Amino acid sequence: MMATTHAFVGLALASAYAAAGGEYATAAAAGALAGGVFPDVDLLAEHRKTLHFPEYYAVLGVLAVVVAAVATVPVTVGVAGFLVSAAVHSASDVFGGGTEARPWLAQDDRGVFLHTQGRWARPRRWVRYDGAPEDLAVAVAFAVPGWVAFDGWIREAVVAGVVVSVGYVLVRKRLPALEERYLQ
């Protein structure tokens, strides 16, 4: 799925915190947005393995939520948002396609690497590939709670993220050919 989809999922979680009257909702949102995007930095290395840690982020996320509940300050709430969002991102990539350049061909059985088991989880392909039309639908659906719950720069980030998502969906299938032509 697109990095923006993951960011919006994290923001939706932060929106629940905001709706519950969370005092540091902006910190939760900032952390969640960053945590939603962070695992995809491993596109520069081995995607869905190098920075995707579904098991470890989940454990750390639970611990961070406990710490934030006990010591509720912007930093602890932001870190909790980051780790929970990174955990959900890493785990949910299994619902997308494989890691190949053309995932719509469904030729790769690597969804996300499970570090504790030393193996790849098979992609489920509920969202066929990053940038598929259904990926955009998921992104927009999860963007709505963030747009409703927040204002200011967070709402602007939601609008910008939706615009980027639409653009990415429009060009996604052309990207592998451009990469082959200009980067190899």
pLDDT digits (tens, 9 = 90+) for 108-137: 999 999 999 999 999 999 999 999 999 999
Give the C-alpha separation, 175 to 166, whole Å.
14
Convert the pLDDT of each residue in 46-73 to its tens digit: 999 999 999 999 999 999 999 999 999 9
Q: Which of 161, 111, 175 is nearest to 8 (CA)?
A: 161
At position 136, the amino acid (one-letter code) is: L
Residues 165-183, mean pLDDT to the nearest whole number = 94
Measured CA distances, 119 to 40, 50, 111, 115, 160 (Å): 19, 13, 10, 7, 36
Convert the pLDDT of each residue in 7-18 to its tens digit: 999 999 999 999
Residues 6+ apart with CB under 8 A from 118: none
For residue 181, pLDDT beyond 90: no
